Amino acid sequence: MKINLIIKIIIITLHQSFIWIYAFIDIILPDFTIFSPIRTFLIQIFTWSKIWRSTRIRKWQYITNIRKLFIWWNCFINRWNIFDNSEIISIGDNCSIGYSNTFITTSHYKKEDIENIKNLDKTFFSSPITIGNNVWITTNCTILPWANIGDNCIIAAWSVVRWTLESNFIYGWIPAKKIKETLWFIAKKY
């Protein structure tokens, strides 16, 4: 019993030290684009996170569990984003995330669901978020649990994403709905 308690205390202490190391890195480096690769490299080394070196991360990110944040090749994450990740958040290649977006992996059950589900030991649930390749999440978007954004998507400002979004579309509104196909954008770019 005492050994389990000691192990839990060690794990909590390590987790808190990761948060403090990330906060220290975020404070000491100025917020210039040239320092983004350095910030990403230091985050990788000191937190053992799964973030590729080609990713550029600006200052002032709030990440609850950096070990559950997977960011793949050549991504850009701008300032003031919130990653509330008690589950895994996976961001694909060549993604761009604008200012002040919120990624939430935990939510609460409705009162009706709690009454219908027997032996429910908690009133909240967690679910991962998956973001495909070549996705642009503009600004002030909210990505909710179970969100699965396909490849080559653009999420318009102030949108709320839940469930699955098909590839090759521009999405907007609350909740996010198809606005237009993005094939025109891809064809012009290449």
- CB-side neighbour CA atoms (13 Å) of 57: 29
Task: Name residue 96's beta-bridge partners.
Answer: 76, 136
* pLDDT digit string, tens, across residues 87-113: 999 999 999 999 999 999 988 766 566
* Two tokens, residue 52: 């590729």
Position 164 scores a pLDDT of: 94
pLDDT at 120: 58
Average pLDDT score, the chain: 81
**Domain containing 17 — which CATH number?**
2.160.10.10
pTM over 0.85: no
Among left, alpha and beta (phi > 0; psi -120 to 50; other), residue 37 is: alpha
Q: What is the pLDDT of residue 147?
A: 95
Stretches where the chain sits below pLDDT 50 are 190
What is the count of structural domains for the chain?
A: 1
Segments forming the whole domain that contains residue 59:
2-189
* Strand ranges, E, within 78-166: 82-84, 89-91, 96-97, 102-104, 106-108, 124-126, 129-131, 136-137, 142-143, 148-149, 154-155, 160-161, 164-165
